[in-house]
Amino acid sequence: MSQNDETLMTELNIAIRRIDLGCLTVAPLAFGVVLQLCNGPDLQITVGTMVTGVLFIVSWIPEMTFAQRAYDTCSLLQHTEGDGAHSSATQLIASKKNVIGVLAGSWRRYTQHHVFWASFSYSMIYFTVLDGGSFMLAYLKWAGVSDTVIGLSRGAGAAMGLLGSALFVPVKEMLGGGLERTGSVSIWIFWVMICPAAIVALLTTSSMTLGYTLVVCVALSRSALWLFDLDHTLIMQAYLDDGERAELNGAQSALYRVFWLLLSIVCLVFSDPRDFVCLVFSDPRDYWKLAVLSIGVVGTSALIFTVWAAASHGPRLAVVTADKVEMPSRVFNDEEPRSPECDLDLAEAKKLW
């Protein structure tokens, strides 16, 4: 829909994120109000389920209406059964009878693509219990953190995500306009913001103290996490061609679900809530426990993305000065004089960037 217009692509992605995070902010608060009006867990479950079901049904109609309007508005999305794109896709599917071969080919193209390590780094983040998900929720309940605090923390996390989406463009411009650099900075900030939870886990034996530390750290870290998520989305959109976008995004979806499945298996092994610390950080006294730990995984993910970003720049990066942009001298042959075309004004450099 954006037709490779980076500015429009960024605006559309930010708008979608804000709608998503706005709903995540309002939903826990509204659901909490509904539950407070009901007495007893049975009535709360019944009323909560009914309200959720009604909201799904009511929202389905405008969702389908706006989706159809988007297809009708954008001519590039309008294909009929007689279109060449549809017929060629049908022939392609019909000709590939070896499903295993098709999947193997897709994964081979995915792993050989330039964005693979950025995608792999993003997928690794799903292997963490510091995400406010069901595993962390189970620990917080066991630690004695109240439902009110848990609900407020989820709303606060979504609000911090909104802040992250609002800061994306200013942060990107402050860092020079590069997606790679923005992603590297945001994922390292995310790692730094969840590290206090690991430190507290090592220094205290109080589950209540650790529980409230987790609530604060995870809620605050959502701003950096959603900043990185938005940056990675733009990278996948910018680097992938139309013909390979569905295939490679599908491979990425499968990869991060593999990491989530591995996390579920590890949580089955460490099912005792007292073992939650082992999933957060490596306890030196329990180093023999074979668990891939959240802080280590996020740190490794940040390192992989940073190395990929540095390799992506390489000699192609422009060195920005006050009023000129010059290419690094190592990309030129020392015996050849530099062409006047190599000196670009800032406006032209931004377009090429």
Q: What is the pLDDT along the chain (353 residues), one digit of tens a residue?
A: 666 677 777 888 888 888 888 877 777 777 777 777 777 778 878 888 888 888 888 888 888 888 888 888 877 776 655 454 444 444 455 555 577 888 888 899 999 999 999 999 999 998 887 777 777 887 788 878 887 788 788 888 888 988 988 899 899 989 887 899 999 999 999 999 988 887 777 777 777 887 888 889 889 999 999 999 999 999 998 888 878 888 899 999 999 999 989 888 877 777 666 666 555 554 433 322 333 478 888 999 999 999 999 988 643 333 333 333 333 333 333 344 443 433 444 444 444 44
Residues 135 and 196: beta-carbon distance below 8 Å? no
Output the CATH code of domain 104-316.
1.20.1250.20
Closest CA to 233 of 281, 168, 297: 168
At 13, list the tokens.
Answer: 């992605």
Whether pTM exceeds 0.85: no
pLDDT of residue 203: 76
Q: Which one-letter amino acid corresponds to residue 324?
A: K
d(CA 43, CA 35): 9
How do the residues of the chain divide into helix, strand and coil, expressed in percent and rounded to 5?
75, 0, 20
Q: Compute the half-sphere exposure of residue 212: CA atoms within 13 Å on the CB side of its CA.
A: 9
Spatial CB neighbours of 158, under 8 Å, sequence gap ≥ 6: 21, 22, 24, 25, 28, 222
Cβ atoms of 275 and 139 within 8 Å: the answer is no
Tell me the Cα Rg of the chain: 24
Helix (H) / strand (E) element for 321: namely none
- CATH 1.20.1250.20 domain range(s) in the chain: 104-316
